[in-house]
Chains A and B, each alone.
Chain A
Amino acid sequence: MPSPASYLLLNPAKPFYLRRLSHPPTPPYPSPRLHARRLHVSCDAPRGSGGVGGRREAIPAGASKAKKQIVFFDAAPPVAQPQPQPQPQQGGSAAEKGESGKATTKEGGGNAALALLRRATKKTLSALSNLPLAISEMFAIAALMALGTVIDQGEAPSYYLEKFPEDNPVFGFITWRWILTPGFDHMFSSPVFLGLLALLAASLMACTYTTQLPMVKVARRWSFTHSGERIKKQEFADCLPRASIQDLGVILMGAGYEVFTKGPSLYAFKGLAGRYAPIGVHLAMLFIMAGATLSATGSFKGSVDVPQGLNFVIGDVMKPRGVLSVAPDVFNTEVHVNRFYMEYYDSGEVLQFYSDLSLFNLDGKEVMRKTIKVNDPLRYGGITIYQTDWGFSALQVKKNGEGPFNLAMAPLKLNGDKKLFGTFLPLEDSDSSNPSVKGISMLARDLQSIVLYDQDGKFVGVRRPSSKLPIEINGNEILIEDAIGSTGLDLKTDPGVPIVYAGFGALMLTTCISYLSHSQIWALQDGSTVVVGGKTNRAKLEFSEEMNRLLDKVPELIGANHENVVDSKSTAT
């Protein structure tokens, strides 16, 4: 049974760095004591074979990955070497200090004003990227939003005057002034709220710039450590006596780590994307905020109630919402409501609303036709038409075979969930001398059934418009021919939607990636002992569990010279 290292050595796809490592240019570690010992095959067979099962499946993964992960020392990026130049080591404050210092020395004499400006910018940036500030901003925004749901929004000032009277304040101090002065009657567009959001956006940008981006630079430098003490100081640290760093490297590779070795030191990492993703989260938030701003300033909105069979021009309905709203050409399109109808459940409740719409351009040519419903709007040239409401427009009635007359329906009860429409068919000629004309009243909750009352207000019967069944009221034969509904449409143009959606997509992706934990492992061959240390930024418990599991797999070498371990093992098996 070949050991993992020998497997890789026998494998044609043998990683280059391992080959180089087995003949290290400067092998300081095999101690003279170990050299003197007689070379013999690991007698620790049970431990080795115990790990074999697990290793066997781990190795092909490592070997196949090795192709990607082979690192040629010569090709190693220069950042691998610690540069003496001042690099931002510890986030924002260090970077800022170093750079502001540079600025003053460079331009101190000539352009003091510019340097001052620069310093002021730096100061503002560091003040904005301050974590407590950002957290208090978020708390304040959350509190204002909560307040916005508690206080009724968008009522007339008199409503607040009545509800929060000055002589009897709520909780002893809240009067209408507290609500109207900061604009809390329209919380989500009040200057206080929008200002806080803008401040938060500024903090987001400052934090990304001063703290997160320097962290990327630090994280990108995969650094080797030559000090065992520093490795031992890591959150997770362990010493493996009689182990080889190459075996460790192979095992880490099998566990999905990117492994780099140089001389006696090893550096491995995993989940680097998890380190970068929070930047993406912040950028996505900024994207969404930018898109929302564009939506708020550059959109048009309108709503219209159109009886079936009539038409309207889009531009007549739309109202600009902000200063940047520019009317597109398609505003001269005419919309014709071909048909409005509803589908019902057996129980009589509304299943769905449908509007069959046709769009005509200036030349009277039909450019689009679609039946829209709730959850399925019409989109044309940047305009979206939603099905949102419905109404009862008119009732077509035949009286004693005459007609049909169109009776306009009036909404009777607007508050409450249920709608009620009514109309009146006079049976006498009305004149000024007789204001109380008697006639037939008709009420309807929906387009399906009409309830009829006679001139004394007594219930007569219910008729369906589709039944064509006449009804006799006060000696008149009434036939309900048709019920004409009107469709309530909402229209909008919103240039911010693509940007907001891009932000949404990015936010979903980056928050998912942010769940990944960036783990880093350092190891150093110190004589026959391997010192391993590692840290991770998120899954700390899982990391130490994983490390313990992986380190258990590292084979123990008994009395073998480090260089010869691999060969002796491969020949022995």
Chain B
Amino acid sequence: MLFATLEHILTHISFSTISIVITIHLITLLVRELRGLRDSSEKGMITTFFSITGFLVSRWVSSGHFPLSNLYESLIFLSWALYILHTIPKIQNSKNDLSTITTPSTILTQGFATSGLLTEMHQSTIIVPALQSQWLMMHVSMMLLSYATLLCGSLLSAALLIIRFRKNFDFFFNFKKKKIKTFFFSEIEYLYAKRSALKKTSFPAFPNYYKYQLTERLDSWSYRVISLGFTLLTIGILCGAVWANEAWGSYWNWDPKETWAFITWTIFAIYLHSRTNPNWKGTNSALVASIGFIIIWICYFGINLLGIGLHSYGSFTLPSK
């Protein structure tokens, strides 16, 4: 009961902090940038991180197993992983565009997980015999870390595509979701213009120069981030295969979830290969990475929605039950 209360409190803290952070971002976008607000949004992220961590730890202690046994817990872990991605460059003090992707991603994931949509599955559930293994920790945490990394990388690629073909995307402005997306991209662009202006480079200031520099940087960063995510995904899938050989009797069963993880892996392998051709670097590879973004969501959510295959424990329990 104590743990339940604690989890409840932590969830509410993280959710309300996130609402405030979203508001700050909106103010920054729509009204004007306030230095103080920017700092406080960063503080808000830190608060959120500690409450998510606290939530995961208390879940672990109260249930006695690694808190990754259902979709809700895995979503929380995903936003935690996104936060870690958000923090690493901050620690290394290297400036990059990741935080503009990770902040909204963390916000949206966390918001989705804690919102009322999925209250049915907030309770910690018992863990079925097949999941009682040390591999659970290794396999699932690796998979979710790789999803988080790959999502960030493919979003950077999508940002590149949108910036490069800005005109073609004008009709998307009618859609609210796309509006949110473009809001973050325009934020990146704005930051860039500012930074570049400060640099006062000696290059001739032809109008497309900033755009070119921005897309180059986005391309480079998305390549690095996707490479990292691909490595994590490889480790995650292979750990899963070894686990399957212990639990299900074969290292590969063509289970839908497995198959889609393999499809994700193949798509990002295509991305990495397409970059070896200088003509395809940039737009074409970014297109592949953007397909990968959709594929990850199918792999992570879609298969669970269908509730088919051996991985069905991570699925939605519909309220009608």
Residues of A within 8 A of B (CB): 131, 134-135, 138-139, 141-142, 145-146, 148-149, 153, 187-188, 292, 345, 347, 349-353, 373-377, 384, 386, 388, 490, 492, 494, 497, 500-501, 504, 507-508, 511-512, 514-515, 538-542, 545
Contacts and interface: CB of A to CB of B under 8 A. Distances in A.
Contact of A374 (B96, B129, B303): B129
26 contacts: A131-B277, A142-B267, A145-B259, A145-B262, A146-B263, A148-B254, A149-B303, A153-B254, A292-B252, A351-B126, A352-B132, A374-B247, A375-B130, A375-B133, A375-B135, A376-B246, A386-B247, A386-B248, A386-B249, A497-B251, A504-B242, A507-B234, A514-B231, A515-B227, A539-B224, A541-B217
A267 to B, nearest CB: 24
B130 A508 contact: no
Contacts of A492: 249-250
B273 A135 contact: yes
Contact of A351 (B129, B230, B270): B129
Interface in B106-126: 126
Contacts of B221: 541
Contact of B247 (A131, A375, A514): A375
B230 A511 contact: yes
Contacts of A545: 94
A297 to B, nearest CB: 14
State the majority secondary structure of interface residues on B: helix
B228 interface: yes
Nearest to B242: A504
A193 B224 CA distance: 32
B269 interface: yes
Name which of A377, A512, A541 has the most chain B CB atoms within 10 A of its CB: A541
B238 interface: yes
Nearest to A491: B249
Nearest to A188: B254
A515 B231 contact: yes
Nearest to A492: B249
A515 B126 CA distance: 38
B106 to A, nearest CB: 23
State the majority secondary structure of interface residues on A: helix
Contacts of B224: 538-539, 541-542
Contacts of B259: 145-146, 148-149
B234 A511 contact: yes
B231 A511 contact: yes
B266 A515 contact: no
Nearest to B257: A149
A500 B250 CA distance: 11
A482 B273 CA distance: 63
Contacts of A539: 224
Contact of A353 (B129, B242, B248): B129
A501 B242 contact: yes
Contacts of B129: 350-353, 373-375
Given A352-B132, A539-B224, A540-B220, A375 B246 contact: yes
Lowest 6 A-B CB distances belong to which pairs? A374-B129, A375-B133, A142-B266, A149-B256, A490-B249, A188-B254
Interface residues of B, number: 46
A135 B274 contact: yes
A373 B131 CA distance: 12
B223 interface: yes
A135 B241 CA distance: 25
B300 to A, nearest CB: 14
B94 A508 contact: no
Contacts of A507: 234, 238
Contact of B126 (A349, A373, A376, A388): A349
Nearest to B131: A375
Contacts of B238: 504, 507-508
Contacts of A494: 250
Given A497-B251, A541-B217, A512 B231 contact: yes
Contacts of A187: 254
B192 interface: no
Contacts of B246: 375-377
B260 interface: yes
B245 interface: yes
B168 interface: no
Nearest to A353: B129
A142 B231 CA distance: 19
A349 B69 CA distance: 16
A490 B248 CA distance: 9
B170 to A, nearest CB: 30
A146 B242 CA distance: 23
A377 B242 CA distance: 13
A351 B127 CA distance: 8
B266 A141 contact: yes
A9 to B, nearest CB: 34
A508 B235 CA distance: 6
A514 B269 CA distance: 13
Nearest to A376: B246
Given A141-B266, A542-B224, 5 more contacts: A153-B254, A351-B129, A374-B132, A492-B249, A541-B217
B141 to A, nearest CB: 15
A149 B250 CA distance: 18
Contacts of B320: none
A181 B267 CA distance: 27
Interface in B3-57: none
A56 B217 CA distance: 33
A187 B254 CA distance: 10
B276 interface: yes
A203 to B, nearest CB: 11
Nearest to B227: A515
B286 to A, nearest CB: 15
Nearest to B130: A374
Contact of B273 (A134, A142, A384): A134
Interface in B193-210: none
A232 B266 CA distance: 38
B227 A538 contact: yes
A541 B126 contact: no
Name which of A145, A188, A375, A507 has the most chain B CB atoms within 10 A of its CB: A375
Contacts of A376: 246
A135 B129 CA distance: 40
Contact of B223 (A347, A377, A538): A538
Contacts of B270: 135, 138-139, 142
B136 to A, nearest CB: 10
A202 B26 CA distance: 53
B77 to A, nearest CB: 21
Nearest to A540: B220
Contacts of A146: 259-260, 263
Contacts of A349: 126
A353 B262 CA distance: 31
A64 B280 CA distance: 43
Contacts of B248: 386, 388
A138 B220 CA distance: 23
A377 B132 CA distance: 13
Contacts of B234: 507-508, 511
Name which of B132, B135, B303 has the most chain A CB atoms within 10 A of its CB: B132
A377 B248 CA distance: 10
A550 to B, nearest CB: 15
A540 B281 CA distance: 14
Contacts of B267: 142
Contacts of A350: 128-129
A353 B132 CA distance: 11
A316 B126 CA distance: 37
Contact of A138 (B217, B227, B269): B269
